[in-house]
Chain A
Amino acid sequence: MTADRFDAVVVGGGLHGLSAALHLARVGRSVAVVERRWTGRHASGATAAGVRTLGRDIAEIPISLEAMEMWHRIEAIVGDDCGFHAHGQMRIAEREEHMPALRQREAQIRALGYGHEEIIGANELRRLVPALSPHCVGALIARHDGAADPHRTVLAFRRACEADGVVIKEDCGVEAINRQGADWLVVCGGLRLRSPVVVNAAGAWGAQLAALFGDEIALGVRASMMMVTERLAPLLAPVVSVVGRALSFKQSDQGTLVIGGGLQGSADIEHEGSTVNFVELAKGARAASDLFPAVKGVRIARCWTGIEAQTRDHLPVIGASPQAPGLFHAFGFSGHGFQLVPVVGAILADLVTQGATRRDIAAFAPQRLMQERAAA
């Protein structure tokens, strides 16, 4: 059987894989995306879809700000607004003793020359979120942040990819990858694809894929839990998180409350399954009803967990493989990769086509986790 040849094969049909494929296609490359299940099956379909610069690791701030600029013109990029609304994200202090840490953060990023995070007091907080329990004293806010609709976003990126000629192969899990001259031969789902470039956007399975090329990368897994309620009348516009509690709280376009915050269920990488832990999730329900007493009687429609890779330093792995020519990694977003989607695709297109990017991605180098693996 002969193999179809592409300029690049992207492994993983999540949002990062689709974004990489889209950017590559737009600089004229022929691209195939191979996905073991279907686009958005795992983390991209299970995300709360927060579009957040607030509280980012210092190393991520530059690309996160660039991504935010892209989100504000996302319709021009993918042909749909992805349900993105910039009503702000805020980290709330319930008590006065929580404020110093927020003030310190604001001072730190201002000293670095950034101004996207800002302290607000109790009055402004109440003006922005009238439904909030009056005991809260202040917050750190990023006013241009917001949230999107994850399913709409997956669909938009997918359609944009297809419009630009990207071939998307679903039900197509990678079975083998071999060197064939200057190319890689990717065998998946009965197909054989040849390409000089492979982009590893396999999410929680990123380290397994990397190992096929000889890259041994230390990678953990997380299974953040989410709950969504029945629809209710408009209650709040911004996305709210709280100091000292695992809570992220927002209202979707449909009127449902979307509650997460990183509480962990359990993940089974091998069987691609994850399980909700309700004793743990009850803490999130408690936090939500403490912060918004009006929601106690609201019914939960469904809860879920998604499987996502987690690195030791909670920073993603973005960069060329140090050993395998033509292999580029983009995974390990550790539960906060959604906002970075537009920019990471652009970075990969740079890396693939120019061998470098103008953005500072040194902190995301795969080598940092490979050394750890070798030392262990």
Chain B
Amino acid sequence: MSDTHTDLLIVGAGPAGMVAAVTARRHGLTVRVVDDQPAPGGQIWRAIETVAATPRLGRLGEAYRAGLDRTAAFRACGGIYEAQSQLWQIEPGFRAFVTRDGRARSFTASQVILATGAQERPVPFPGWTLPGVLTVGAAQILLKTADSIPEKPAWIAGCGPLPLLYMTQLLAAGGKIAGFLDTTPPGRLGSALRHLPQAVARLGDLAKGLSWSWALRRAGFPIIRHVTELRAEGKDKLQRLRYRTSAGSEGEVAAELLLVHEGIVPNIHPALALGCAVTWNASQQCPVPVLDGWGETTLAGVFVAGDSAGIAGAEAAEPRGRLAALRVAVKLGKLDDHAAETSAGAERGLLARALALRPFLDALYAPRAQVFAPADETLVCRCEEVTAGELRARAQQGRPGANQLKAFTRAGMGPCQGRQCAATLMQIIAATQKRPIEEVEGYRVRPPLKPVTLGELASLDMQEPAA
């Protein structure tokens, strides 16, 4: 092994990335793991090693505590672990560029596993860019890493398990909740229950979810159901919320902090940048990479594991990570097909069990239609300040695709490179042009994947001999 080459490069040190590293090392592969966090664990087990020594561990729950064994096994596996390293480009072949401590470096690898996790689904609504409006995920990161509790009572708006979990954690930590604007549409439980028979193995998880709901109801803050429209208002910062429910009732409340969440979607930016094919996942309303049974993409040698392969949670991330690593070991001649298939059988069983509750959850928490159809005045691209109305008007002229709309309006050209607006833009194109969303091609992703500075990129020129 040279300084800069390994058999396998793993991007992300969450549940999938860590077990992939452990598995690959067990089969004698050289492994490098790059991750932008200072410590392993990903979002689910964020800061687990430091939190383990504090009372916070108890408050964050049993599922969080489970991360301790995983990070310990990962630390001991003998892979190269590059923490606090921002991966900003992977070139075919494969060469990866990262920045750490203000300097850029590059590494090569024969195979790549992208275990880049999820991001919160961007939810544009009037006022979403006002100071005082954050996402539930961002607030939860502050809670996990810094024990940070909002000073002001928080309004929570959204749908899905995360708002329930966060509210439970926030109350346990002594925080205050002003109220919950539940955006789950009416009738969802009924349609979700159709999927219950295949979820019976996961009744424990269902019970956990119900216990959160009961605990929150007992806490006594207002819970407004079936919210369809939301508007944040204020001069320079959030001062009040307006909402409307599916029954047509409207409300206005004073608010200084609003945390929103409408589910999570796979982080497929690196896979898109490499040119891996994606497909539309209708039940989760998001694009996912096209993968074979091992997690290999349409680009040979590039695998995706964990939530970046499709939202399924930490328990599914682990078998996915091990399956990808097994296949990499086969491709590099360290494991024969038969042995890999034998191990894979057990992993696929674990994966199926972990996925059993998914159709139920996907049906229960599918985002409401309004998430994809923001009012004309709403900013869709917050970097370049492009509104939904402007995109709709342009989308009608000559049936342009996402990349043309980008050129016409600058939507997606800012520092976030479409991470915040791509999904909404695709929905607007589909709705305006009356095309199925599956047919709408997304933005071409242009490097860098993370905003590297000119000075950091220049440092690469000082380090590498001239080509």
Contacts and interface: CB of A to CB of B under 8 A. Distances in A.
A355 to B, nearest CB: 34
Given A155-B408, A275-B91, A304-B446, A295 B454 contact: yes
B415 A285 contact: no
A275 B448 contact: no
Nearest to B407: A151
Interface string A133-158: 00000000000000000010011000
Contact of A38 (B275, B401, B447, B448): B401
Interface residues of B, number: 36
Residue of B275, B408, B447 with most partner-chain A CB within 10 A: B447
Interface string A265-299: 00000000101111111110110110000011111
A278 B467 contact: no
B462 interface: yes
A170 B259 CA distance: 43
Nearest to B97: A278
B438 to A, nearest CB: 18
A302 interface: yes
A317 B44 CA distance: 59
B417 A300 contact: no
Contacts of A229: 454
B398 A170 contact: yes
A41 B407 CA distance: 9
A362 interface: no
Contacts of B458: 282, 285-286, 288-289, 296
A301 B408 CA distance: 18
Nearest to B408: A155
Contacts of B275: 273
Contact of A296 (B404, B448, B454, B467): B454
A155 B407 CA distance: 9
Interface string A331-365: 00000000000000000000000000000000000
Contacts of B459: 282
Interface in A36-76: 38-41, 45
Given A151-B408, A279-B106, A288 B448 contact: no
B91 to A, nearest CB: 7
B453 interface: yes
B467 A279 contact: yes
Interface string B407-425: 1101001110100000000
Contact of A299 (B401, B410, B451): B451
Interface string B82-93: 000000010110
Residue of B398, B404, B414 with most partner-chain A CB within 10 A: B404
Contacts of A129: none
B425 to A, nearest CB: 16
B400 interface: yes
A296 B454 CA distance: 5
Contacts of A281: 457
A372 interface: no
Nearest to A276: B447
B455 A278 contact: no
B461 interface: yes
B54 to A, nearest CB: 34
Nearest to B457: A285
Contacts of A273: 275
A151 B89 CA distance: 26
A191 interface: no
A298 B446 contact: no
A286 B400 contact: no
A302 B447 contact: yes
Contact of A289 (B407, B447, B454): B454
Residue of A40, A168, A283, A298 with most partner-chain B CB within 10 A: A283
B452 interface: yes
A278 B91 CA distance: 9
B130 interface: no
Contact of A301 (B91, B92, B400, B413): B413
B80 interface: no
Interface string A167-189: 01010000000000000000000
Given A288-B454, A300-B454, A282 B401 contact: no
Contacts of B464: 279, 282
Interface residues of A, number: 39
Interface in A289-339: 289, 295-304
Interface in A213-261: 228-230, 254, 259
B446 A303 contact: yes
B460 A278 contact: yes
A278 B451 contact: no
A279 B461 CA distance: 7
Given A275-B92, A279-B464, A282-B458, A299 B452 contact: yes
B400 A303 contact: no
Contacts of B401: 38
Contacts of A228: 413
A295 B400 CA distance: 36
Residue of B398, B407, B448 with most partner-chain A CB within 10 A: B407
B417 A302 contact: yes
A302 B454 contact: no
Contacts of A278: 89, 91, 97, 106, 447, 457, 460
A170 B460 CA distance: 41
A156 B467 CA distance: 40
A302 B113 CA distance: 24
Contact of B462 (A40, A286, A300): A286
Given A154-B407, A289-B454, A299-B415, A282 B461 contact: yes
Contacts of A168: 398
Residue of A254, A277, A278, A296 with most partner-chain B CB within 10 A: A278
Contacts of A38: 400-401, 403-404
Given A297-B455, A302-B446, A40 B407 contact: yes
Interface in B423-437: none
Contacts of B457: 278, 281-282, 285, 300
B453 A299 contact: yes
B408 A300 contact: no
26 contacts: A38-B400, A40-B407, A41-B403, A151-B407, A151-B410, A154-B407, A168-B398, A228-B413, A230-B415, A259-B454, A278-B460, A279-B106, A282-B457, A282-B459, A283-B466, A285-B454, A289-B458, A295-B455, A296-B453, A296-B454, A299-B415, A299-B451, A299-B452, A301-B414, A301-B415, A302-B448
Given A302-B447, A304-B446, 19 more contacts: A38-B403, A40-B407, A45-B407, A151-B410, A170-B398, A230-B414, A230-B451, A254-B410, A276-B446, A279-B460, A286-B461, A296-B458, A298-B453, A299-B453, A300-B452, A300-B454, A300-B457, A301-B417, A303-B447
* 10 cross-chain pairs, A with B, having the tightest CB-CB distances, nearest first: A296-B455, A299-B451, A285-B457, A282-B460, A282-B461, A286-B458, A286-B461, A285-B458, A302-B446, A151-B407
